[in-house]
């Protein structure tokens, strides 16, 4: 049959019905896929996906809560912190995720938790802002959470709108990690990257082989991000929580390459104000020992333990005040 010259073929009822049934089944399959994937992911017990889930489902309520990007995730050992301070502790650090991206999670945590202290660790580029949501799969199942959605929407409103309101759109953004975590969630298995995780902290047993940073740089300071910081600190204070801002160790040669480090420290200090605390580790002696790092801005497991001990001692003093 010539499809171009054949006579008018009306859009009859049986055809419409067939189309409707086809689409209905498609919707049903997609719904099943989406629901089962989300359910699998929410069953994950360890790793970055689990960290997000634990906040959204209010499963963690430590006395000392640590937030931040990778510089929180790989530096703060909650076991050491608990041993020294006598307070329960959990590391909510998310790799590749500065405050501008996890602000919704932090807000949610502040609202539900009874924590005494919230530690926010930010690296020198913390105030640069974001143009895209990194590794969105970690947040996908939880976009119904008001704060989380509101926070991420500020980075990419177009994407977030589609993720929330276009049916099955999130399925087009998922990657291999999400599928893997969903399967692991059902099987009760732990992803090999997360096997060493203890209360959110993942020690990095690595050696730094590359050369230290050679070129200098000037980190951008976005006023919008600074305001986000200030708003969160104010909210935490209003809920009777102390905030400790931490600028973690950077290898000393790298420190010298940051042109506006002093300005960044001043911003941290201004956010902390007089009611909160700012701990600057960029001039700490840890920064002098290359063997404690695995790159310019990240400590390896040995370095992290030394840092955690030092931090815990300082935190103990803060907790007594």
Partner 1 sequence: MLFNSFEFLIFFPTVVALFFLLPHRFRWLLLLVASYTFYMFWRVDYAIILVISTLIDYLCSLMMDRHPVEATSKRKPWLWVSLFTNLATLFTFKYYNFFNTAAKDLADVLGVSYAAPAFELLLPMGISFYTFQTMSYTIDVYYGRQKAEKHFGIFALFVTFFPQLVAGPIERAGNLIDQLKEKHEFNYERVTSGLKLMAWGLFKKVVIADRLAVMVNQVYNNPTDYEGIPLIIATVFFAFQIYCDFSGYSDIAIGSAQVMGFRLMENFRRPYFSKSIREFWSRWHISLSTWFRDYLYIPLGGNRVVKWRWYYNIFIVFLVSGFWHGANWTFIVWGALHGFYQIFGFLTAKQRDTAVELLGLGRNRIFYKFIQVGTTFSLVCLAWVFFRANNISDAWYITTHMFSGFGESAREIMFNVNGAWIKYLLFNQPPNTIALSLFFIIILLVIEYFHRKDLLNSGVNSLPTIARWGFYYFLLITIITLGVFKSNEFIYFQF
Which positions lie near partner 1, rule CB under 8 A?
A: 1, 3-4, 6-11, 15, 22, 25-26, 29-30, 33, 162, 166, 168-169, 171-174, 176-177
DSSP run (H or E) holding 89: strand 89-91
Instruction: Find the shortest distance in angstroms from Cβ 278 to partner 1.
Output: 38
Instruction: Find the shortest distance in angstroms from Cβ 172 to partner 1.
Output: 5
Given the complex with partner 1, which of 162 and 206 has the nearer CB atom? 162
Contact, 181 vs 191, CB < 8 A? yes
Given the complex with partner 1, which of 3 and 238 has the nearer CB atom? 3
Given the complex with partner 1, which of 136 and 258 has the nearer CB atom? 136
Given the complex with partner 1, which of 131 and 274 has the nearer CB atom? 131
Given the complex with partner 1, which of 178 and 201 has the nearer CB atom? 178
Q: What's the rounded Cα separation, in Å, for the pair 205 and 186? A: 29
Q: Which of 307, 264, 302, 258 is nearest to 285 (CA)?
A: 307
Strand 64-68 relative to strand 89-91, pairing: parallel
Q: ∠ CA 197-145-38 to the nearest 5 degrees?
A: 60
Instruction: Find the shortest distance in angstroms from Cβ 158 to partner 1.
Output: 9
Burial class (CB in 10 A: 0-12, 13-18, 19+), 206: middle
- Which residue has tokens 């994407």? 159
Q: Which of 44, 31, 57, 34 is nearest to 181 (CA)?
A: 44
Instruction: Find the shortest distance in angstroms from Cβ 226 to partner 1.
Output: 30
Given the complex with partner 1, which of 4 and 144 has the nearer CB atom? 4
Instruction: Find the shortest distance in angstroms from Cβ 83 to partner 1.
Output: 37
Contact, 91 vs 199, CB < 8 A? yes
Tokens of 295: 């790159």
**Where do runs of H (alpha helix) occur along the chain?**
13-42, 48-56, 70-73, 78-85, 99-112, 146-153, 157-165, 169-173, 176-187, 223-238, 252-255, 261-272, 301-320
Instruction: Find the shortest distance in angstroms from Cβ 119 to partner 1.
Output: 32
Instruction: Find the shortest distance in angstroms from Cβ 34 to partner 1.
Output: 9
Given the complex with partner 1, which of 20 and 231 has the nearer CB atom? 20
Instruction: Find the shortest distance in angstroms from Cβ 161 to partner 1.
Output: 10
Q: What's the rounded Cα separation, in Å, for the pair 67 and 145? A: 19
Contact, 184 vs 192, CB < 8 A? no
Given the complex with partner 1, which of 174 and 221 has the nearer CB atom? 174
């Amino acid at each position: 049959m010539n499809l171009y010259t054949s006579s008018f073929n009306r859009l009859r009822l049986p055809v419409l019905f067939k189309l409707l049934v086809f689409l209905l089944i498609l919707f049903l399959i997609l719904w099943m896929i989406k629901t089962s994937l989300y359910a699998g992911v929410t069953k994950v017990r360890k790793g970055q996906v689990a960290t997000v889930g634990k906040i959204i489902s209010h499963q963690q309520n430590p006395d000392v809560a640590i937030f931040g990007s990778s510089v929180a995730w790989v530096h703060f050992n909650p076991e050491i912190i608990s041993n020294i301070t006598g307070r329960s502790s959990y590391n909510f650090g998310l790799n590749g995720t500065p405050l501008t991206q996890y602000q919704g999670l932090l807000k949610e945590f502040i609202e539900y938790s009874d924590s005494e202290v919230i530690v926010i660790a930010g690296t020198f580029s913390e105030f640069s802002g974001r143009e895209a949501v990194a590794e969105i799969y970690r947040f996908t199942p939880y976009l119904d959470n008001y704060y989380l959605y509101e926070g991420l929407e500020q980075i990419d409103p177009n994407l977030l709108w589609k993720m929330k309101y276009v049916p099955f759109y999130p399925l087009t953004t998922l990657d291999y990690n999400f599928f893997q975590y969903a399967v692991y969630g059902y099987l009760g298995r732990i992803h090999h990257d997360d096997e060493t995780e203890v209360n959110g902290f993942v020690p990095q047993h690595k050696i730094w082989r590359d050369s230290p940073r050679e070129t200098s740089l000037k980190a951008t300071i976005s006023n919008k991000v600074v305001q986000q910081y200030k708003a969160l600190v104010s909210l935490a204070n209003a809920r009777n929580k102390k905030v400790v801002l931490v600028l973690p160790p950077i290898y000393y040669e790298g420190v010298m390459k940051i042109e506006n480090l002093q300005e960044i420290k001043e911003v941290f200090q201004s956010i902390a104000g007089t009611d909160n605390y700012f701990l600057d580790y960029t001039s700490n002696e840890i920064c002098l020992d290359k063997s404690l790092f695995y790159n310019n801005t990240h400590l390896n497991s040995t370095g992290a333990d030394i840092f955690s001990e030092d931090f815990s001692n300082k935190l103990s003093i803060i907790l007594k005040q």
